[in-house]
A and B are shown apart, each in its own frame.
Chain A
Amino acid sequence: MADTWSIGARTFTSRLLVGTGKYPDFATMQRAHVASGAEIVTVAVRRLDLAAKGEASLLEWIPKGLVLLPNTAACFTAEEAIRTARLGRELGMGDLVKLEVIGDPRTLFPDVVGLVEAARALVKEGFTVLPYTNDDPVTARRLEEVGCAAIMPLGAPIGSGLGLRNPTNLRIILEAARVPVLVDAGVGTASDAAIAMELGAAAILMNTAIAGAQDPVLMAEAMRDGVTAGRKAFLAGRIPMRLHAAASSPMTGLIGR
């Protein structure tokens, strides 16, 4: 049986979600998207530059068949995030939203009070809400209670590349959640992605780690492999850690004794 996962009514095979920001150019982004194997890509909603006529559209460079996940990045209040989500739905003709309500410009940590408030309102409006949240198990529970379709705790600050700063909290969130848990933000390299998947995350969302790499296309491939390896290791069930050695070869039948 295929190892799939679902958000609402949609089922996916790839457990890597990728962004569309910060690439050197659209052609590189497109090649990285293909190399990543991602089935979902995030996009932001911004004012159209009314002076720039006939500029290349981002959408023309996103491979057909990929699911667009509009975000509410850089929204600092629930109201802004709700308005942005509605505009994203109008643009994308889908009900998915990556909900961000940011509380601090330096760390881009979520304002979890505004986040829960916005999530509750958007769920009532029929959105499938995927909230970017802190690695706090209580907030994760609140988000699930208001009807979010997934929980997306950060591994580390957005774009920081620090890797998973609090794997034990992620484990507690994973243990309790009855909706998919996606690690969103903070991943720096393929081993970070593997570790998140080994913890049992349903999927990982990343942008900068791929787009900002020296070779984004090769990094996209590395991330795909890291996610796959980590997922397989999770399913396989790792051995327990132990302090002392446990010999792999027989300790008896040695010569010369």
Chain B
Amino acid sequence: MPIQVRLNGELRELPDGLTVAGLLAHLGIKAPRVAVEVNEAVVTRDRHDAQRIGPGDAIEIVAFVGGG
């Protein structure tokens, strides 16, 4: 059964049981370029393999962009 999460502000269905690392792979994102927050807490790179995504999680995936 897929689970529903809020990913970068939008509702989205994901396969159940993904870790953060699995989510990034699922989305085709290279981990070194992004930072991930789950439920308003940063998931540091060393925890990408351990932290699991659960139903209803609010996930933010961010990167550096131009700014002043």
Contacts and interface: CB of A to CB of B under 8 A. Distances in A.
Contacts of B29: 48, 50
- Secondary structure at the A interface, as helix, strand, loop or mixed, is mixed
Interface string B5-42: 00111000000000000000001110001111100101
Contacts of B64: 43-45, 58-59, 68, 70, 88, 91-92
Interface residues of B, number: 24
* Max chain A C-beta neighbours (<10 A), residue from B9, B45, B62, B67: B67
A232 interface: no
Interface in A74-89: 83, 86-89
Contacts of A88: 35, 64
A3 interface: no
Interface of A: 19-23, 29, 42-48, 50, 53, 57-59, 68, 70-71, 73, 83, 86-92, 158-159, 185, 205-208, 211
17 contacts: A19-B67, A20-B67, A22-B66, A29-B66, A43-B65, A44-B66, A47-B9, A48-B63, A59-B64, A86-B37, A86-B42, A87-B37, A87-B62, A88-B35, A88-B64, A91-B33, A91-B62
Given A43-B64, A73-B67, A88-B64, 8 more contacts: A47-B9, A47-B61, A47-B62, A71-B68, A73-B68, A87-B37, A205-B68, A211-B68
